Structure 1
């Protein structure tokens, strides 16, 4: 499948919100400097920063909220740790409840996609039981999100997460659950380490709703800007066209761009333009 020549994917970037050490106004300025149109919010979840104020500030900046990164691990609200693969029932319930709070928060902020991790580092022998726990948690989140317009987007992980490191496992589970509130997020850096970015993208297929876009050397999850690692971005753009992906190119390298403004170079910006353009690839 090839997307129509007139279609252009939007450019977005992740920004931090609610952290004392990060000035949100500067985050918005950087997003506009990149030419971003949409944002993924990474909130300081423990403090549950005000989503209504966020919505107004983003709108006033001429931007829109597309997504938020939900709780995971120690980045939690009330749970000690969040892991949808927890086998311990009370800990699993706490994880789901925290992510339900994230759904409500994102709905109030005016966003659509809540990116969630399928779990943390785990024993491959526990895969069947963890898959069942993940399925149960995603089903509960889908029910909670119903009617809000929020979609739960499960992200592929680096090696060592069972299930979760391979997109085929996640897309297969989402297809099995078959709920309109469930989809997947493709993390380019994780895919580049776990397998092959092209095959992982094709495995996501029609379930792909949003992205986390960053580069690396194929072995370390360094979250470099595109062009500063070994990913073939033109090949990936063609693969996105093959599967008919119309969602945003959502950068997840804001920290590096913030620390090293020189990385926002003409070749970097040209790469972003090629990924978002609606013209046929050569």
Structure 2
């Protein structure tokens, strides 16, 4: 699904005069993306004579695609969930690679390459594109770990996720810079955890330096290290790599700071989104509109910072008893409303 947003002018030669108000279909090639966009509608605005031939000026709307994290179906088998996602109207996904609590379920076991090959075949069959993969995380799997053995294990698991992402032809690896509490006895402890995270990210950067993959650090909940923009930005600045950016989670940000202020602070580093809503009291991951985030301002702020990625929804059931099929349809309608469609 494509969302239409920012106004642009595209000029190209035509043979016959076009009149304002014509209902015209045009295929527009967006330079640098290799993506053909088709806009059907009232696109003829006026005709010009220039250098002896006629030109048509089209006022069109720039685009942003919508995607869905498969985490909404984290209790279900990933391959079996894809048909539902496609039928709901999604073409882009983020693969959720987290093993379920206490091994009670496995949405996607990224260690299983036989399964991963079948997954790729199913994605191709359904013409679903993997945009990103959410790396595994838990309290035990933490790249900011003080204990080197545990930190090394976390890195090894994320490297496996990178390999899977490359195989699935995605290009953004989303991961948590820490799962540690943000409450420390002193500043020295906090700075050491941040330095451990940086050391780990440097290792991951080296691992994927020749791969077409960017690393996206997700802003955390406020009680976790890097839950506030100041800490995540410090980490980003110290890493200082074009291959490292930020995945902005709106539900997390809304619990810590003003979401739109966070967008402005992160601006050029935002390479991915986790879009959901809450009321500012708990990490609900609701459909946009079921909460207190001002989505119209959010979209305008994304335009302001020139975000060009996917509008990736991360909706989590979390015991709410959702009818997922119904929720997905409502989510798409909500996003259309946000964008004035």
TM norm structure 2: 0.71
Q: Which residue of 1 aligns with 2:201?
A: 138
- Alignment CA distance shift 1:229-1:30 (3 Å): farther
Structure holding more strand per residue = 2
Highest relative contact order (Cα 8 Å, sep 6+), 1 or 2? 1
* CA RMSD in angstroms, aligned pairs only: 2.6
Match of 1:7 among 54, 59, 62: 62
Match of 1:40 among 83, 94, 114: 94
Q: Which residue of 2 aligns with 1:55?
A: 120
- Where does the alignment leave 5 or more consecutive residues of structure 1 unmatched? 75-80
- Where does the alignment leave 5 or more consecutive residues of structure 2 unmatched? 9-60, 100-107
- Alignment CA distance shift 1:39-1:257 (3 Å): farther
Q: Which residue of 2 aligns with 1:94?
A: 153
Tell me the alpha carbon deviations over residues 138-189 of structure 1, each in whole angstroms, 9 at most, x when there is no partner: 1111111111111111000111122x10234223322331223211100000
Shift of 1:210: 0.5
Shift of 1:264: 4.7
Say whether residues 1:194 and 2:265 are aligned partners: no
Judge conservation of contact 1:85–1:133 (CA < 8 Å) in 2: yes
Q: Which residue of 2 aligns with 1:103?
A: 162
Shift of 1:26: 5.1
Q: Which residue of 1 aligns with 2:323?
A: 259
Shift of 1:84: 1.4
**How many Å separate the matches in 2 of 1:203 and 1:129?**
24
Q: Which residue of 2 aligns with 1:205?
A: 267
The aligned length equals: 268
Judge conservation of contact 1:8–1:276 (CA < 8 Å) in 2: no
Judge conservation of contact 1:3–1:242 (CA < 8 Å) in 2: no
Tell me the alpha carbon deviations over residues 48-97 of structure 1, each in whole angstroms, 9 at most, x when there is no partner: 243332222112112100011101116xxxxxx21111111111111111
Tell me the alpha carbon deviations over residues 173-215 of structure 1, each in whole angstroms, 9 at most, x when there is no partner: 2233122321110000000001110011111111100111111
SS in 2 for 1:8: strand
- Alignment CA distance shift 1:25-1:142 (3 Å): closer
Question: Please, which moves more after superposition, 35-44 or 167-176?
Answer: 167-176
TM norm structure 1: 0.85
**How many Å separate the matches in 2 of 1:68 and 1:119?**
17
Q: Which residue of 2 aligns with 1:77?
A: none
Structure holding more helix per residue = 1
Judge conservation of contact 1:225–1:253 (CA < 8 Å) in 2: yes
Judge conservation of contact 1:11–1:35 (CA < 8 Å) in 2: no
Q: Which residue of 2 aligns with 1:149?
A: 212
